[in-house]
């Protein structure tokens, strides 16, 4: 078969103008082993098409098998697409989170390092001790003022204890004042 003729048949085939006889010629040509190098690109397609002709498509469940395969392919394509989008989203959010974390750490250390007066002026240890002592004195004074407020709460606690004693007296008042009535009530309640 002439290579020029094969090239023209290929052109007709890809344009969709070839008939069955021409397609059979192409298939037969590409099933051979001595295909020229510049036409080997087309060989896998025609070998595949030749193999597909041998399939039995007259079985009653052929349509169902094809439909099932198409549905499986469509579902796997959807799942792959969703997974790709999710992976992209996770990658982008991970990078963004890392950048924010680095900015936060840099800002924190920048505030600590550059705003410390001890590092700016080489303050002596004695001055640092005096400043610390002054700060602790202020804290101590404020703590003592807060503890004075707790004294008021202790007085309220003592008053509540006295009120509880008075409440117990009120519960047993009838027994202490009229013990005879209490005995009569308890015996009448036990009889029934």
CA-based angle 117:119:121, to the nearest 5?
65
* Measured CA distances, 42 to 13, 21, 24, 101 (Å): 11, 18, 14, 54
Domain that holds residue 34: 3-55
186 falls within a domain: no
0.75 exceeded by the pTM?
A: no
Residue 83 domain flag: no
Of 186, 3, 70, give the one whose Cα is nearest residue 11: 3
Q: Is 41 domain-assigned?
A: yes
In-domain check, residue 118: no
Q: Which residue has the higher pLDDT, 82 or 39?
A: 39
Helix, strand, or coil (residue 123): coil
> Do 175 and 182 meet the contact criterion of CB atoms below 8 Å apart?
yes
Give me the number of domains the chain comprises: 2
Residue at 77 is within a domain? no
Mean of the pLDDT values across residues 55-68?
Answer: 73
φ, ψ of residue 2 to 5 degrees: the values are: -75, 135
What's the mean pLDDT in 178-187? 63
């Amino acid at each position: 078969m002439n290579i020029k003729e094969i090239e023209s048949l290929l052109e007709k085939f890809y344009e969709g103008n070839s008939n069955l006889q021409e397609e059979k010629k192409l298939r037969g040509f590409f099933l051979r082993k001595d295909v020229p190098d510049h036409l080997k690109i087309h060989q896998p397609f025609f070998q595949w098409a030749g193999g597909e002709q041998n399939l039995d498509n007259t079985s009653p469940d052929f349509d169902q098998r094809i439909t099932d395969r198409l549905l499986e392919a469509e579902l796997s394509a959807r799942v792959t697409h969703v997974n790709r989008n999710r992976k992209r989203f996770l990658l982008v959010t991970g990078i963004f989170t890392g950048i924010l974390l680095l900015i936060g750490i840099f800002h924190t250390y920048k505030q600590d390092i550059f705003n410390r007066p001890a590092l700016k002026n080489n303050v002596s240890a004695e001055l640092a001790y005096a400043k610390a002592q002054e700060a602790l004195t202020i804290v101590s004074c404020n703590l003592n003022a807060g503890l004075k407020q707790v004294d008021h709460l202790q007085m309220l606690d003592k008053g509540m204890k006295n009120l509880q004693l008075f409440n117990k007296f009120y519960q047993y008042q009838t027994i202490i004042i009229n013990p005879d009535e209490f005995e009569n009530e308890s015996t009448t309640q036990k009889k029934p």
